[in-house]
Structure 1
Amino acid sequence: MTAAQSAGPGIRAARTPIVVDGVGKVFGEETDKPFEAVRTVSMDIAPGEFVSVVGPSGCGKSTLMLMVAGLLERSAGTITVGGEPVDGPITDVGIAFQDHLLLDFRTAEKNVLLQAEIRGLDRAKLKARSDELFEQLRLTHAKSRYPRQLSGGMRQRVSLIRTLVHDPSVILMDEPFGALDALTRLQVRTDLEALWLERRPTVVFITHSVEEAVGLSDRIFVMSPSPGEIVDEVVVELPRPRPIVLGESPEFFAYVDRIYKQFQRMGVLHGIEVPAAGRES
């Protein structure tokens, strides 16, 4: 057991590197119609780094995350987390998906404390960390409410608390804000950055939103259409904490523009062709 796995809630999580080396995934390898989802992806993620992966729908972003988590077997390559090979589900991890996956019959707080039951953790320590996170995310008043009594943004913040409450050294997030409206998404993005800055776990964040990736990340990996490959690596050198609205910063715009131009080059984005008649004066 690693130091990070043995540390209880309230103790700063150990920082954990992630190394993805030549990883590929082919579904249906034994069939006459195999599908190559991910091809020869390599990423070297430093301990405590916040990394995003962006790319078009179906490019293999989620597949890559599941392989890092050890929840999906890879077809090629190697993955190590904290120097240990990933040959099955890793334990010192917090995972968040687009759907909040809260249990309807448990209150917000009991959904979070389910981590103590599943992982066999000290309930009192987990409760203390849960209370701290509910307060930081301005949700103390909602602890006794059921998911159906919460707004979409509140449910997603409860899901975020559940992801972080056991202080994992690695956090994997797959489009966690995808179902939120634009304003709520901005606020939850800012909340996530603040929580990450506090303890600096290693984060792999999957998103379709280029602006969101630039707003959160130290580095961004850009993936091609299927089979997904890394076509660009963008180092984001913006000061932290970052303002909730980044759009007016020329530096922010330059990063966003670089990534969108990659999508244009790959044919993911297409401009509007104006007929010749429409251009006549």
Structure 2
Amino acid sequence: MTLSQTSEKTPVEKTGVPIAIRNVSKVFGEGGDNPFRAMGPVDIDIPAGQFISVVGASGCGKSTLMLMVAGLMKHSTGEILCDGKAVTKPITNVGIAFQDHLLLEFRTAFDNVMLHADIRGLDRQMIADRARDLFAQLRLEHAMDKYPRQLSGGMRQRVSLIRTLVHEPDVILMDEPFGALDALTRLQVRTDLEQLWLRRRPTVIFITHSVEEAVGLSDRIIVMSPSPGVVVDDITVTLPRPRPIVLGDAPDFASYVDRIHQHFERMGVLHGITPQTKIAS
């Protein structure tokens, strides 16, 4: 079966919120002798419930952009709106995942997930019920009472994913969350993430270096230039969902990958690629 023959399940109502990034840039060392423009200006509008990936060379400002959307870093110019409200401080209805799982070694997997209830003062029974449901969906019931040191890398990252999603945030921000995993585990966790996202469809900004991973997960892919990072392409991915765990060499998948790789070759990020398709204007 090809990707184009794969049927998508009836979509659920989108529960995410829109995000608007307008003329946003980041300059480090403003007012000093050697200011450094790390990113921008960037303009991106993200509808509620959309899954977007941001790809680009190291140092292009991908992670900086995510931190500014979260309100954890101030932007130098422009404005960021989350659900129509200006982001001037850390937003609260958000789940954030990083490359490092950041699990506390002295708490079990289940207790790590329950941190949201403890810190946010949420209903513990409600969060516990959601946590057990997510552990079951990710086939981790047997790991709930184990400590991080007793889990494999893939299991720890799944626990981190549960912790990111358990309070059902409207916005999910993920910075290379699968970067430390081996190739086979990345495939499985990528599929797990898509299945969990399809349940509610929060708005997702996913930072990755993997072009194939971006195509496999995204509704849109934002391609950024080397520093200072600006948007050089905004690609809508129309592959049907749910997507197969192995995307393979299907032409409709390969065309997206080729398009992004050609941008990287043109910008000097990659060298020696033989173009198979032309970059869409």
CA distance in 2, matches of 1:42, 1:117: 37
Determine the structure 2 residue equivalent to 1:70.
Answer: 71
Determine the structure 2 residue equivalent to 1:197.
Answer: 198
Deviations 1:89-131 (A, max 9, x none): 0000000000000000000000000100111100000000000
CA distance in 1, matches of 2:236, 2:117: 37
Structure with greater Cα Rg: 1
Determine the structure 2 residue equivalent to 1:44.
Answer: 45
Q: Is the 8 A contact 2:14 2:49 kept in 1?
A: no
CA distance in 1, matches of 2:40, 2:114: 38
Determine the structure 2 residue equivalent to 1:135.
Answer: 136
Q: Is the 8 A contact 2:14 2:48 kept in 1?
A: no
Determine the structure 2 residue equivalent to 1:208.
Answer: 209
**Number of residue pairs matched?**
261
Q: How does 1:1-40 map to 2 (within 5 A)?
A: 14-40=15-41
CA distance in 2, matches of 1:25, 1:128: 41
CA distance in 2, matches of 1:193, 1:13: 14
CA distance in 1, matches of 2:44, 2:119: 31
Determine the structure 1 residue equivalent to 2:115.
Answer: 114
CA distance in 2, matches of 1:121, 1:249: 45
Structure 2 residue ranges without an equivalent (≥5) = 1-12, 274-281
Q: Is the 8 A contact 1:24 1:40 kept in 2?
A: yes
CA distance in 2, matches of 1:22, 1:37: 14
Q: In structure 2, the residue corresponding to 1:31 is in which secondary structure? A: coil
Percent identical: 70
Q: In structure 2, the residue corresponding to 1:231 is in which secondary structure? A: strand
CA distance in 2, matches of 1:43, 1:98: 24
Q: Is the 8 A contact 2:114 2:127 kept in 1?
A: yes
Q: How does 1:55-94 map to 2 (within 5 A)?
A: 55-94=56-95
Q: In structure 1, the residue corresponding to 2:17 is in which secondary structure? A: coil
TM-score by length of 2: 0.92
| 1:34 CA displacement | 1.0
| 1:248 CA displacement | 2.1
Q: How does 1:148-187 map to 2 (within 5 A)?
A: 148-187=149-188
CA distance in 1, matches of 2:97, 2:253: 26
Deviations 1:146-203 (A, max 9, x none): 0000000000000000000000000000000000000000000000000000110000
Q: Is the 8 A contact 1:37 1:226 kept in 2?
A: yes
CA distance in 1, matches of 2:263, 2:146: 44
Structure 1 residue ranges without an equivalent (≥5) = 1-11, 273-281
CA distance in 1, matches of 2:268, 2:248: 25
CA distance in 2, matches of 1:112, 1:243: 28
| 1:249 CA displacement | 1.0
Letter in structure 2 aligned against 1:236:
V
Q: In structure 2, the residue corresponding to 1:241 is in which secondary structure? A: coil
Q: In structure 2, the residue corresponding to 1:246 is in which secondary structure? A: coil
CA distance in 1, matches of 2:77, 2:100: 29
| Residue 147 (structure 1) aligned with residue 148 (structure 2) | yes
| 1:33 CA displacement | 1.1
| 1:247 CA displacement | 1.8
Q: Is the 8 A contact 1:26 1:75 kept in 2?
A: yes
Q: How does 1:95-106 map to 2 (within 5 A)?
A: 95-106=96-107
Q: In structure 1, the residue corresponding to 2:185 is in which secondary structure? A: helix
User: Residues 171, 258 of structure 1: CA spacing in aligned structure 2 closer, same or farther, 3 A cutoff?
Assistant: same
| Residue 266 (structure 1) aligned with residue 267 (structure 2) | yes
Q: Is the 8 A contact 1:70 1:90 kept in 2?
A: yes
TM-score by length of 1: 0.92
| 1:15 CA displacement | 2.3
The RMSD of aligned alpha carbons is 1.0
Q: How does 1:214-225 map to 2 (within 5 A)?
A: 214-225=215-226
Determine the structure 2 residue equivalent to 1:279.
Answer: none
CA distance in 2, matches of 1:101, 1:41: 30
| 1:13 CA displacement | 7.9
Deviations 1:56-82 (A, max 9, x none): 001000000000000000000100011
